[in-house]
Amino acid sequence: MNSYFQIRGDSIECKLCPHNCKIGSGKTGICGVRKNSGEKIELLTYGVTTGIASDPIEKKPLYHFFPGKRILSIGSYGCNISCDFCQNSSISQVIPETFKPNTSAENIVNAAVTAQDNIGIAFTYNEPVIWYEFIRDISVRIKHEGLHTALISNGFMNSEPLIEMFDFMDAFNIDLKAFNTTFYRKLTGSDIEPVKSSLKQIARAGKHLEITSLIIPGQNDSLKDMELQSEWIAGELGKGIPLHLSRYFPRHLRKDQPTSELTLHKLFDIASKKLDYVYLGNLTTETGQTTFCPSCHSKVSQRSGYNVTHPTLDENGKCKVCGNLIYKYF
């Protein structure tokens, strides 16, 4: 078990994410929750949660990982990047001066084991990568209980901790916030390349992967970029990786109007030419919510809000019409 830091004189380098913060004594890194406590990096939010709820798994969004089931979802404070459009800024971008633990790994595991119809734990709401030690302690226990784990993340992390995570994390929904280097630098304070690298490692490790792109008008809604993005996903990760195109609403520092439905539909059409499963999120209609069998085009799953029905799917997650496997986890 690695702790992902290196002592460098008076400072300690945190090696969890590509910022590789060199943290002076008593100070915290960019994420605000990892502190140089003299001899090591201390996770200030160990045992500190801001939310715990049993959510439909579609809400993460994960549409191809136990569709229709529920997952206990937990989050804490802080983030390692600083999106000006953050949709969860009250816990991600604003953090308290001091932290008080309000639970333990054992409590969370007990809650997951006793929750009704629960398939496991999702680490979500804020950025879970910076909560590494706590999610590792929970996940290892959860796996022993025969339950499943999911990470909903920006994917901005270093390879070594990600590879270790494959031992205890089953499913990932990673944000690909734009297919554009300038967007990443200007609007998120990070870099796209480590995110692309994380996506490739997750796909190559055979872990369950879905991708979310929040579409902001005039910022990342270029049809050309979507063509390149979907081509890249199909070529590097696989055309069966589900892509969620999500509607933006003004939050945090960004005041643009919500994304038009027409723009989302155009991007949906472009991505659907390369990828088997493209979905639209944050819309009031049911457009872009259906799963079609990529082989025979039967309507295998239909979604309305968070309700899912499977008109032509057998009990093993295969298309009843042609036998094509749609859901490995069902």
Q: Are 65 and 171 contacting, i.e. CB atoms less than 8 angstroms apart? A: yes
Q: CB-wise, 30 or 105, nearer to ligand SF4?
A: 30
Q: CB-wise, 82 or 282, nearer to ligand SF4?
A: 82
Residue 29 binds ligand SF4 (CB under 6 A):
yes
Fill in the per-residue mask, 110 to 139: x = in contact with ligand SF4 (CB under 6 A), - = not in contact: --------------------x---------
Q: Are 35 and 123 contacting, i.e. CB atoms less than 8 angstroms apart? A: no
Q: How far is the CB of 246 from ligand SF4 (least distance, A)?
A: 25
Stretch that binds ligand SF4, among 10-18, 100-108, 236-244, 305-313 (CB under 6 A): 10-18
Give CA–CA dist 188/76, Å, rounded.
20
Stretch that binds ligand SF4, among 17-25, 220-228, 246-254, 313-321 (CB under 6 A): 17-25
Give CA–CA dist 310/315, Å, rounded.
10
Stretch that binds ligand SF4, among 18-26, 65-73, 172-180, 218-226 (CB under 6 A): 18-26
Residue 34 binds ligand SF4 (CB under 6 A):
yes
Determine the size of the site formed for ligand SF4 (CB under 6 A): 12
Which of positions 71-90 make contact with ligand SF4 (CB under 6 A)? Answer: 80
Cis peptide before 61 (omega within 30 of 0): yes
Q: Are 194 and 153 contacting, i.e. CB atoms less than 8 angstroms apart? A: no
The residues near 282 (Cβ < 8 Å, ≥ 6 apart) are 246, 247, 248, 249
Residue type, 216: I
For ligand SF4, which residue of 12, 16, 52, 192 counts as binding (CB under 6 A)? 16
Q: CB-wise, 78 or 242, nearer to ligand SF4?
A: 78
List % helix, strand, coil for the chain (3-state, nearest 5): 25, 25, 50
Residue 21 binds ligand SF4 (CB under 6 A):
yes
Distance of CA 116 to the CA centre of its chain: 24
Q: How far is the CB of 272 from ligand SF4 (least distance, A)?
A: 35
Q: Are 194 and 157 contacting, i.e. CB atoms less than 8 angstroms apart? A: yes
